[in-house]
Amino acid sequence: MNEIKYKPIGVVRSPFKEPKGTPIQPVGAKNIDGTVELFPEYAEGLKDLEGFSHIILIYHFHLSKGASLKARPYMDNEAHGIFAMRGPSRPNPIGISVVRLVGIEENILHIRDVDIVDGTPLLDIKPYVPEFDTRKVEKMGWLEKSVHKLSKTKDDGRFIR
């Protein structure tokens, strides 16, 4: 199969003007407020979304410097395969974050726990549903010894152009 083409449906707004210093996951961005500016032509698609307390944002890591199949993640000193980590230098630089939905005014979504750089192009919004999205895991690889660093770790700019 050939190229897949998508178009941004909106833009994420946040206090983080550059990758450096941005929290690396929503859990490290507690109470950080932001907005999604959905382009008005998609506003009809928001019907009944306000009933959900959390949403999944799928977005394009537009500042990623390009793909590396191995990289050193923020929370470890060793390199891992890019598919075993969540950093942005992926073959298809797609990011996902579960954020809190505070409210919707027309095409503007007020969101909280935002770990996304200001100006990031948005690809999709999905409702977060524990029955679909929550799993109990038996193991989580290299992160087992590192995940405690999560709330203190910020992007240090290593993956930007």
CB of 5 to a copy of itself, least distance (A): 5
Identify whether the C-beta of residue 75 lies closer than 8 Å to the C-beta of residue 143.
yes
Q: C-alpha angle 70/75/79, rounded to 5°?
A: 20
Identify whether the C-beta of residue 22 lies closer than 8 Å to the C-beta of residue 160.
no
CA dist., res. 94 & res. 59, Å (int): 6
16 or 73, CB closer to a copy of itself? 73
52 or 110, CB closer to a copy of itself? 52
CB of 78 to a copy of itself, least distance (A): 9
16 or 64, CB closer to a copy of itself? 64
CB of 142 to a copy of itself, least distance (A): 6
Judged on CB neighbours under 10 Å (0-12, 13-18, 19+), 90 is buried
16 or 113, CB closer to a copy of itself? 113
CB of 42 to a copy of itself, least distance (A): 6
